Amino acid sequence: MRIETLLFKEIVILPELFLGISLVYLVLHCTFLAIKKNYPLIQNSVLYLGVLVLFLSCFLVLNDGLDVLEQSVLNDTIVNDYLSFFSKLVIGSLSLFCLLMIQPYLTSQKINQFEYILLILFAVLGLFLLCSSNDLLTAYLAIELQSLAFYVLASFKKNSTHSVDAGIKYFILGAFSSSLFLFGSSLLYGVTGTINFEEFKDLFVNVFPGNHDVILNEISLFDFSLVQFGLVFILISLLFKLAIAPFHTWAPDVYEGSPSSSTFFFSVVPKLAIFVLLLRIFYYSFFGFFESWRYFIVIVVVLSIIVGSFGGLEQRKLKSLLVYSSISHMGYALIAFSAGTFESIQMLLCYLVVYSFSGLCVWSIFILTRLKNNHLQKQNKDLTDLVLLGKSNYMLAIFFTTVLFSVAGFPPMIGFLVKISVFLTAIESSMFFVVLISILCSVVGTFYYIRLIKILYFEKVLVGKLYYPIQVQSSVLISLLFFLFLFLFINPTLLYLFSYKISLLVSTAV
Amino acid sequence: MIINILFYLFSAILLLSSLMVILVQNSIYSILFLVLSFISSAGILFLLKCEFLALMFIVIYVGAIAVLFLFVVMMLDLKTVNLKKDTLKYFPFGVVIGGVFLTEILMVISETFKANPYGDSFLYNSHFNWYERMDTFTEIQAIGQVVYTEYVLQFLIAGNVLLLATIAAVVLTINTNVESDKKQVIFRQLSRNYKNVLIV
Amino acid sequence: MLYIKNILSCILVLPLIGAFILSFIPSSSRSLLRSIALNCSCLTFVLSLLLWVFFNKSVGTFQFTENFFWVPILNLNFSIGIDGISLFFILLTTLLIPICLLASWDTIQVDLKKYLISFLVMEFFLIGVFCTLDLLFFYIFFESVLIPMFLIIGIWGSRERKIRAAYFFFLYTLLGSVLMLLSILYIYYQVGTTDYEVLLTFSFSPLEQKIMWFAFFASFATKVPMVPVHLWLPEAHVEAPTAGSVILAGVLLKLGTYGFIRFSFPLFPEACFYFAPFVYAMSVVGIVYTSFTAIRQSDFKRIIAYTSVAHMNLVMVGLFSFNVIGLEGAILQSLSHGFVASALFLIIGVVYDRHHTRMVKYYGGLVHTMPIYVFIFLFFTMSNIGLPGTGSFVGEFLILTGSFKANTTVTFLSATGMIIGGCYSLWLFNRIAYGNLKTQYFKNYLDINKREFLIFFPLLLGTLVMGIYPNIFLNSIHFSTNMLVEFMYF
């Protein structure tokens, strides 16, 4: 599957270069097109152009596939190993699906400015760079690129106070967490003199978990507490970005207020990239300091799962419900992150891929259903708007039910499999109490998923809400997703194989 | 010696002026204190032998950003609010948290950067390579030699961030409907009196 | 004679194929839908009879075994096979599903296609539970049964409290089962695989056994159901449609006891011995308490629901007596309870179809107008009490004999509880069948038609055969139970 003429082995960042240059071209193209004809609606064509660009960059990522295990260029600041390859592919394909799904939404909500697509592409560029970054500076710049695009995406609807409100909240909190990241990385630079992940790994090679002599010894040559201090800042800033309790308070407001297509993007795509960065920093470079932040992450995990399960019980709006479910899911992913074994990295990646995929399915259903008698002119769905979807759109309701059972982690679906994998790694590291609490809270969380199914099928009202029919192309995509979803349970081997290979690479220190 | 005094002076001015930015009532005063803090941080940078960076601070921060703030404050008809309303309620809590934080970071920094324990021992082999210590580069040349060769991708990404910021600013403020734009009324703007700006 | 090597996987997959075919047929052609579903489930039943015919009664190991690869990296594979104990549960399932489909022939008006598909999918999951030889897949199928049952109770149940009942059912069972999930993960971590035959060769330390036994118990106890966690049962039975109650009482309650026999006993024998007094106490409380409660009920279905609880607790007493007689009695009592309770729910369903109420006070003197119905009702009431000549008597007798060896007090108390069972059953029958016709409530009475008679006939025959000549069934179970008891004491 390799096209030899497109192979530039020396330029490892060819996909990002392509994406960046085509973005610049697109900006110019759209601006001139818009100005010349007095601001026409070029939204659709820009969307398809964006899809084309994304598809080609994914193709370039695939094409540049790896002959060697790891390749680092540009003064060791960019690395192209299996982890970046895999995550770039996943993020690229997810964004591709996102773009295709939000097209009817953009038309119906009259989001007419063409920059929407460009901002999404900028965010994807930032995520690509984040996945393959090998030092703190590149990571910070990539985070900034992605976050800035997201801030504007959140506040895109200028005449709605909810949207602008969400954008401001997101901006302030995102800037705050980026500044924490910068502070942490400056401390790390101050202590070690380098910002490269490889060099961190080499510097701390005699520090490993359990080696208390080096860390706590009074007469040691080097006191590591400032390194731990800096690491805490970086950790907290990344947890802020993932919306994990107790740093989750911005998430419901921001997700509720932004236009649904932006929320779609926020909750599906960036989590994988931020986890990649977390993996690189905390498992690759600084694995020796594992013991110092492990208990902290366990507390955060338990809090997230409790908040996510109990917070979602009170919600009456669909978007807030999905936000709380994503908070609890990030908690489960962090269980695997805090276990510290080789399998835990593997299961973490599997969990994230399945989470992103099922998030994609749920949100596409959410976006594609548009109320017909929208005399209240509201843009977000309450729970009761889904009533009797089982009667009006039969197959969509079945799809929704299936995906909901997978999100809840209920047996015959792939969500169950990855959830028990995560718990398996926790049991392997003897974190029994955490697993017990989290599994009990997951039962509590199952309640609001079942409530959604109840609303879909069981309600006693005679007439449900009417929806516009879904376009052909979107329904083809959704059916494709459904079949892929069912297939994943029958044969999840590919997923496990890929994640195994990746965890072999990342865990040089484990 | 004198460098130490200058360092303490600039740091004190920096801390005080950044505190005053958030404590004064008048917006113009707070922006001017912000400018003062920028200038004092530029002074600190001068002391650290980064003259290029210090001048960049002044050019960009003071010359572009603070001027932009001043323009915005000038155009908006701001009424000052009573900032002191809730200060007393949150003051002790903030002091405690900030004090804890400050103590922690001071302790950690003092532990980490101890003086070299081997510096005075006679077994310490200190060999100075004076040729390496000769400094013929100016700072600008040093920055240029690194940024444009080793960190060129980061430079390009930073450029991309600026592009994105431009696009974002345009997106958020453009109004394609030309007739309903708000315009400045020059008469009203010029007839503003400083006396009816503050509402005490 | 024909001998198909993969007959078990055929039986497993056939309902799924039926559901798949059904999904392509438009929902307006009701008769075609119903006939395809009925044909598919009857074919499954015939194939499972073939399983019984070709079953080798002189061997105690697993027969008709097959192995499929699922995720070879994690050493998770799917293997199926049956032995004497699971054979009859599979037969019970495949017998009850066509009966359920027949019972809901005319009563389901809306969404017939979804109904039939849910039943067929549930049949797939149930057969999967009983024939899987892998702990993780047991759990997967065990939990997956909840999904179609939840939909059936919620969509086609009677209108008053069905949503609440559906929630109760789902969340109670789920809460118990998650603890079992943790134990399964721990077992997988220790042993490296979840294959049943490998697990049998592994032994855990006593402390691990006790904790894991308790986790498994939490899950199975809600399914049995034992007393503190039995609250979902009356709700779910009352609100479910007739066929849903039949399958719930007939098969789903047996999942708990099957789980005990299959997993708790061989894997954690020391813990079973340790906790036996605890289980005895809870079962006896269950029998006596629910029997007394059943006397006070005014809803027809609720009385039968409470008798189900009492009978299943008796099965638990028999199980934990740890000798062959008690164990075989428990299995036989499970089977006969499957027949009897299903028949009783069908009886209620017959009358509910005609008059749409379940309150006992509206019925009286039915013998005057529905004699055949009352005959069937009398027969099943008698088997509910445990009259000699019906399968329940054999089961109860064997259970009480077996537990007499273990603990005489428990036997005495549970036998007393069974006598109370006679009290409410006879009273119920008396009120409904004899006396005067209550014409101020109902004007028209109609006796049972041919379809309904055909529903009752296999259950009648089964109970009678089980009561008169139980050796037909016990022949196949002997070896497996003997091996099990030997294994436990080893």
For residue C400, how far is the Cα from the chain centroid? Answer: 21
Look at C155 and A458 and tell me if their CB atoms are within 8 Å.
yes
Q: Of how many residues is chain C composed?
A: 490
Q: How far apart are CA A229 and CA B106, in angstroms?
A: 12
A: neighbours with 3+ CB pairs under 8 Å? B, C
SS3 of A216, please? helix
- Looking at residue B59, its pLDDT comes to 94
Q: Give the number of other Cβ atoms within 10 Å of residue C433's Cβ.
A: 21
- Looking at residue B25, its pLDDT comes to 79
pLDDT at B132 exceeding the cut of 80: no
Closest Cβ–Cβ partner in A27, A77, A125 for B154: A77
Look at A226 and B174 and tell me if their CB atoms are within 8 Å.
no
Q: Where along chain B do its domains lie?
A: 1-85, 137-177
Q: Where along chain C do its domains lie?
A: 1-218, 268-490
Tell me how far apart the terminal alpha carbons of chain C are, to the nearest angstrom.
40
CB-based touch B/C (3+ pairs, under 8 A): no
Q: How far apart are CA B152 and CA A74, in angstroms?
A: 8
SS3 of C463, please? helix
DSSP letter at A4 equals: G
Q: How far apart are CA C9 and CA C81, in angstroms?
A: 9
Look at A77 and B176 and tell me if their CB atoms are within 8 Å.
no
Q: How far apart are CA C32 and CA A147, in angstroms?
A: 57
B: neighbours with 3+ CB pairs under 8 Å? A
Look at B160 and A78 and tell me if their CB atoms are within 8 Å.
no
- To the nearest whole Å, the CA of C404 is away from the closest chain A CA by 39
Q: Which secondary structure element, helix H or strand E, spans residue A78, and what is its range?
A: strand A78-79
Q: Are A445 and A328 in contact (CB under 8 A)?
A: yes
- On the 0-12 / 13-18 / 19+ scale of CB atoms within 10 A, C403 is buried
Amino acid at C318: G
Q: How far apart are CA A300 and CA A15, in angstroms?
A: 36
Nearest CA to A456 out of A361, A370, A364, A391 is that of A391
Class of B1-85 in CATH: mainly alpha
Q: Give C175's contacts in chain A (Cβ within 8 Å).
A: 440, 443
Size of interface A-C (CB pairs under 8 A): 79
Q: How far apart are CA C240 and CA C166, in angstroms?
A: 9
Q: What is the mean pLDDT of residues B54-59?
A: 93
Q: What is the mean pLDDT of residues C106-110?
A: 81
- Looking at residue C1, its pLDDT comes to 44
pLDDT at C104 exceeding the cut of 50: yes
φ and ψ at residue A135, rounded to 5 degrees: -145, 170
CB neighbours of A463 closer than 8 A, spacing ≥ 6?
A: A388
Chain B interface residues facing chain A, Cβ-Cβ under 8 Å? 104-105, 108-109, 111-112, 114, 149-154, 156-158, 160-161, 163-165, 167-168, 170-172, 174, 176
- Relative to beta strand C76-82, strand A72-73 is unpaired
Closest Cβ–Cβ partner in A20, A152, A225 for B172: A152
Q: In the block, which residue shows the tokens 């969340």?
A: C171
Residue B182: pLDDT band (50, 70, 90) is low
What is the token pair recorded at B3?
A: 């460098």
- To the nearest whole Å, the CA of A223 is away from the closest chain B CA by 5
Pick the residue of A388, A403, A413, A420 with the most C CBs within 10 A to test the interface with C by mutation: A420
Render pLDDT for C389-447 as a digit per residue (tens, 0 to 9): 888 999 999 999 999 988 889 999 988 888 888 888 898 888 888 888 887 887 778 88
Residue C121: pLDDT band (50, 70, 90) is very high
The pLDDT mean for chain C works out to 87
φ and ψ at residue C157, rounded to 5 degrees: -75, 170
- On the 0-12 / 13-18 / 19+ scale of CB atoms within 10 A, A342 is middle
What is the token pair recorded at C139?
A: 């759990």
What pTM value is reported for the model? 0.88
pLDDT at B179 exceeding the cut of 70: no
Q: How far apart are CA B130 and CA B138, in angstroms?
A: 18
Look at B171 and A152 and tell me if their CB atoms are within 8 Å.
yes
Render pLDDT for B8-56 as a digit per residue (tens, 0 to 9): 999 999 999 999 998 887 888 889 999 999 999 999 999 988 889 999 9
Closest Cβ–Cβ partner in B149, B153, B158 for A78: B153
pLDDT at C93 exceeding the cut of 80: yes
Q: Give the number of other Cβ atoms within 10 Å of residue C178's Cβ.
A: 23
- Looking at residue B114, its pLDDT comes to 67
φ and ψ at residue C64, rounded to 5 degrees: 55, 40
Q: Of how many residues is chain A composed?
A: 510
Pick the residue of B100, B112, B145, B150 with the most A CBs within 10 A to test the interface with A by mutation: B112
CA atoms within 13 A on the CB side of A217: 10
Q: Give A12's contacts in chain B (Cβ within 8 Å).
A: none
Size of interface A-B (CB pairs under 8 A): 75
Q: Are C325 and C265 in contact (CB under 8 A)?
A: no
- Looking at residue A491, its pLDDT comes to 79
Nearest CA to A141 out of B154, B162, B60, B146 is that of B154
Q: Are A441 and A328 in contact (CB under 8 A)?
A: yes
Pick the residue of B114, B161, B174 with the most A CBs within 10 A to test the interface with A by mutation: B161
Nearest CA to A491 out of C47, C419, C238, C77 is that of C77
Q: Are C91 and C148 in contact (CB under 8 A)?
A: no
Q: Which secondary structure element, helix H or strand E, spans residue A350, and what is its range?
A: helix A342-368
Q: Give C239's contacts in chain A (Cβ within 8 Å).
A: none
Q: Give A171's contacts in chain B (Cβ within 8 Å).
A: none
Beta bridge partners of C68: C78
Q: In the block, which residue shows the tokens 């849903």?
A: C244
Q: Of how many residues is chain B composed?
A: 200
pLDDT one digit per residue (tens) for chain A, 510 residues: 566 666 666 677 888 999 999 999 999 998 888 877 666 677 888 899 999 999 999 988 888 766 666 666 777 788 888 888 889 999 999 999 999 988 888 888 877 788 899 999 999 999 999 998 988 999 999 999 999 999 999 998 888 888 899 999 999 999 999 999 999 999 899 888 888 888 888 888 766 665 555 545 444 556 677 888 889 999 999 999 999 988 899 999 999 888 888 999 988 899 999 999 999 998 888 887 887 788 889 999 999 999 999 988 888 888 889 999 999 999 999 999 998 888 888 899 999 999 999 999 999 888 888 777 666 666 667 777 777 777 777 888 888 888 998 898 888 788 888 898 899 999 888 888 899 999 999 888 888 888 888 888 877 776 767 777 788 888 888 888 888 888 887 778 888 888 888 888 777 655
Q: How far apart are CA A302 and CA A67, in angstroms?
A: 41
Q: Give A447's contacts in chain C (Cβ within 8 Å).
A: 167, 171
Nearest CA to A135 out of A184, A197, A188, A92 is that of A197
- Where would I find the H helices in C160-296? 162-191, 196-199, 206-223, 232-239, 242-247, 253-259, 265-267, 269-295
